[in-house]
Amino acid sequence: MSNITIKDVAALAGVSVKTVSRVLNKEANVRDVMIERVNKAVKELNFTPNPMARGLRGHKTFIISLLYSNPNPGYIVELQKGAMQQGSIDGYNLQIFPCDHTADDLYETVITFLKNSPQDGIILTHPICDNKAIIKYLEDNQIPFARISPLYSDHNSPYVGSDDEKAAFEMTQYLISLGHTKIGFIKGHPDFAATQKRFDGYKRALTTNAIGFDEELIKQGLFTFESGEACARQLLTQDNKPTAIFASNDYMAAGVLKVAKQHNINVPSELTITGYDDAPVSKQLWPPITTIKQPIYQLGMAAVEKLVHIIKKKSYKDIDSIYDCELIIRDSSSPCIL
Amino acid sequence: MSNITIKDVAALAGVSVKTVSRVLNKEANVRDVMIERVNKAVKELNFTPNPMARGLRGHKTFIISLLYSNPNPGYIVELQKGAMQQGSIDGYNLQIFPCDHTADDLYETVITFLKNSPQDGIILTHPICDNKAIIKYLEDNQIPFARISPLYSDHNSPYVGSDDEKAAFEMTQYLISLGHTKIGFIKGHPDFAATQKRFDGYKRALTTNAIGFDEELIKQGLFTFESGEACARQLLTQDNKPTAIFASNDYMAAGVLKVAKQHNINVPSELTITGYDDAPVSKQLWPPITTIKQPIYQLGMAAVEKLVHIIKKKSYKDIDSIYDCELIIRDSSSPCIL
DNA sequence: TGCAAGATTGACAACGTTATCTTATTTGTT
DNA sequence: AACAAATAAGATAACGTTGTCAATCTTGCA
C-alpha cells in the first residue's frame, strides 16, 4: 500500500538499510543511539515493512491458517476470536479455510489450499484434525501445525483440548448430588472426539458413586436437534424412565425439552435436562438449560501460541494442552423428587 | 513450502523462465507447443508458484480480508463460506479480522491491520461498513473494498445487501393475509442497517392494506433475547394487545415465546410470533418460528465477486447489489381467530 | 521479392526485504 | 601494551517471480 521503503528510512536516519532492518527485527548489537534514530525516522515516514518482501526473503508469511469443518457456528466464531487475539500478540494474521469434511475431494482441496496459499502453519479443528492423510502430508512436508480437540492425541503432534471427560464427570456428579440415580445419557455423533470422552466421564461418575450402569438409559444421538428428539422419545416412553437426561450437547438437549413438553412432563420438577457446549440456544429456551461451557476462546489462543512456538522452533512443552470446562447451572435441573 | 522454482520448470521444459511465467499467467502470444511443454514440466515437478514472490513483484497478494464485528455467529460463518466459495473460484484466499466495533481504538486497530497485513482488498460487514473514518481511510489510500448490508448506500462505493424492506413487507403481508390486524413489532438495535429497513417494510404493508399504524404496538428492542422478553412483557400486559408479534430477529422472537409461555398464552392459536434471520434457534424452539432467511451465502459470494472486479479494475456494474430473502413458514404462525 | 507489422521468445532488471560476509571499532585479558 | 574477542555497522547478494525491452521469426501485402 505505502511505497515508502527501508531505503527511505535509512536515508532519513542516515544509516544503512541493514541497520534499519536490524532495528525493525530487534536484532542484537545495535547501539541505542541508532535504534532511536531509526525509530524516529520510521515514525516520521509512517513506515511499515512490506510483508511480501519479508516473506520472500525470510521464507515467512506471518500468516496462520485455520482449517475447519464444523457445524457449530458459535464454536467457530469464538475459536476465531481467540486465535486472532493470540495472533495479534505474536504478529500473525489469520487466514481461514472452511471446508466440508464429508466431501470426496477433501484431501485434494486441502492440499491445493496448502500449496497455493502462503502461510507459516495451520491449525486444524476436529474432525479434520483426525484425518490421517492430511496429517501425514503436513508431516512429510514439514508444515507446522497444531490440532484442536483431536480424537487421537497419542500422535506425537502438538494439540490443545478441553477436558471433556472431567467435565462430563462433574456434570454427572452434580446430577447425582441432586439425588438422581436413573440418569439417561444421549451420546453424540461417533465421528467427534468429544463423544467418547463425554460418555467416559458419565460412566466414571456412575462407577465412583456405585450406581449401576444401565444400557437402556444410553441412546446414540448425532449432535442434532432431531436426534435429541428421537432419543428422548425412546427414553420417555420406555418402562425404565430416567429422572434426568444428560445430552451430549445443547441442540440435543433442546430436542429433549421439546419432547418433554409434548408429553406434558414438567422440566425440571419431573425431569431434569442438561446439555453441553453452552450454545446460545441453551439460554434462549424456557427453562434455560444447565450446561457446560468449553474454554473455546482459550483453546484458540493456546493453539496459535503453540503453533507460533513450533514455527519459531521454540519448545512448546511449557504451554498447557488441556484446559478445564465450566459447569453452568441453570433452571433445567433440580433435585430428584422420587 | 516446495523449493521448486520457475527455473527448474524452465530447465526441464527447455524454455526461458519468462515463457514459463507467460504460460502460468495465461498471457497471449505463446505457441501451443510451448504451452504443452511447460504444462507437462509443471505437472512433472508438481510445481506451484511462490505466492510471496508473485506478490512482491506484481504488487498482488491474492488475499482478501473480511472485517467483522457481529454478534451473530451463524451469520458470520455462512458469510465466510460464501466468500470462500467465490474466493476459490477467483483464486483468492480469505483472511479474517474479527474486531469489536464498540472499542475505543477500533480505528487504530483496523488501520494497523490494514498496514501490516498483506491484502488486495477488504470486505466490510455492518456495522463497521458504516464507519466513516475507516471508509475515508480506504478511499484516501485507494484500498479496494466492498460493503455488505451498509446503512448508507448512497455513498458511491460498491456494496451488496439483501432487501430487508421487501422481506419485512412480505412477512407483514403474510400476517395480514392470516387475518391479523393488530400486529406488534419489535425493532432491532438502532446501530444496525437492518433495523430501519425491516421497520419500513412493516409500515408499508400496513399502509398498503389500509391498516392504521399504532405507536403502542411498536417496541424498541436490541436484537437480544432479553430485549425481546422485555418488549413482549410490555406488549402482552398492555390493554391494547396484539394478536401477532413480528420480532426483528429470531433471538427476540425466542424471548417473546418465553414470555408467552410464562403467561400461559398458547402459540400460535392465541398469539402468532414471527422472527427474522432463520437462526438455528428458530428451528429448535417449540413451536418452531416462522421467519425470514437472508441470502447470506450469496451475499458473501457477491461481495467477493465485486471486490475482485474492483481489484482487477474491471467494471462491477453488472453484478447485482440487492438479493432477495425467503419467507420460511413454520408452526408459530396461524390465522387470527378473533 | 522486399519490407512493415505482428507474433514469439529470451535476457535482464526490478520488487523490498533479510542473510552473509566484511570491515572497523571497542572491550577485555594477560 | 599487545592482542584476542566481541561489538557495531555496512556492502552486496539473494529470495522467486513478473515487467521491460530487445531480438528473432512469421506473416501479409504491395
pTM to 2 decimal places: 0.82
Q: What is the pLDDT of residue B1?
A: 45
Q: What is the pLDDT of residue B58?
A: 85
Q: In angstroms, what CA-CA distances link A36 with A20, A43, B32?
A: 11, 11, 58
Q: Residue range A292-303: average pLDDT?
A: 96
Tell me if chain B has a CB within 8 Å of the CB of A84.
yes
Give the pLDDT band of residue A91 (cuts 50, 70, 90). confident
Distance between first and last Cα of chain B: 70
Mean pLDDT of chain A: 92
Contact state of A95 with B94 under an 8 Å Cβ cutoff = yes
A43-57 pLDDT per residue, tens = 999 898 998 999 999
CA distance A111 to A132: 13
Tell me which residue has cell 413489532. Answer: B185
Give the pLDDT band of residue A279 (cuts 50, 70, 90). confident
Full DSSP string of B188-215: --TTSHHHHHHHHHHHHHHHHTTPPP-G
A117-142 pLDDT per residue, tens = 888 999 999 888 888 899 999 988 88
Nucleotide with smallest C1' distance to residue A21 CA: C18
**Whether residue A286 has pLDDT greater than 80:** yes
Q: What is the pLDDT of residue A2?
A: 53
Q: What is the pLDDT of residue A118?
A: 82
Q: Is the CB of A26 under 7 A from strand D?
A: no
In the Cβ-directed half-sphere of A77, how many Cα atoms lie within 13 Å? 22
In chain B, residues 192-251 whose CB comes closer than 8 Å to chain A: 225, 251
Q: In angstroms, what CA-CA distances link B297 with A96, B160, B303?
A: 16, 12, 10
Q: What are chain B's domains?
A: 6-49 (no CATH), 60-161+296-323 (3.40.50.2300), 164-294 (3.40.50.2300)
A61-80 pLDDT per residue, tens = 889 999 999 768 889 999 99
Q: Looking at this protein, which amino acid is placed at residue B29?
A: N
Beta bridge partners of A326: A293
Q: Which three cell numbers stand for residue B270?
A: 392465541
The alpha-carbon gap from A96 to the nearest alpha carbon of chain B, in Å, equals: 6
CA proximity to B246, closest of B153, B169, B132: B169
Q: What is the pLDDT of residue B155?
A: 59
Residues near A186 by beta carbon (within 8 Å), at least 6 away in sequence: A219, A220, A221, A227, A228, A231, A232, A235, A245, A246, A247, A248, A252, A256
pLDDT beneath 70, residues of chain B: 1-2, 71, 154-155
**Whether residue A1 has pLDDT greater than 70:** no
Tell me if chain B has a CB within 8 Å of the CB of A58.
no
**B74: which chain A residues are within 8 Å (Cβ-Cβ)?**
73-74
CA proximity to B184, closest of B207, B206, B167: B206
User: Sign (positive/negative) of CA torsion B41, B46, B52, B54?
Assistant: positive
CA distance A106 to A112: 10
Helix axes B250-262, B225-237, angle to 10 degrees: 50
CA proximity to A196, closest of A161, A229, A225: A161
CA distance B68 to B124: 6
Q: Looking at this protein, which amino acid is placed at residue A314?
A: K
Other beta carbons less than 10 A from residue B313's beta carbon? 7
Best-predicted range by mean pLDDT among A16-30, A314-328, B222-236?
B222-236
Q: Which three cell numbers stand for residue A319?
A: 504451554
CA proximity to A327, closest of A153, A80, A162: A162
Closest residue, chain B, to A51 (C-alpha) = B118
Q: Residue range A187-203: average pLDDT?
A: 92
Residue B92 DSSP label: -
B254-278 pLDDT per residue, tens = 999 999 999 999 999 999 999 999 9
Tell me which residue has cell 490421517. Answer: A132
Coil vs helix vs strand at B255: helix
Q: Which of A199-213, A237-251, A323-337, B301-315 has the lowest mean pLDDT?
A: B301-315
Contact state of B52 with A52 under an 8 Å Cβ cutoff = yes
Q: What is the pLDDT of residue B232?
A: 97
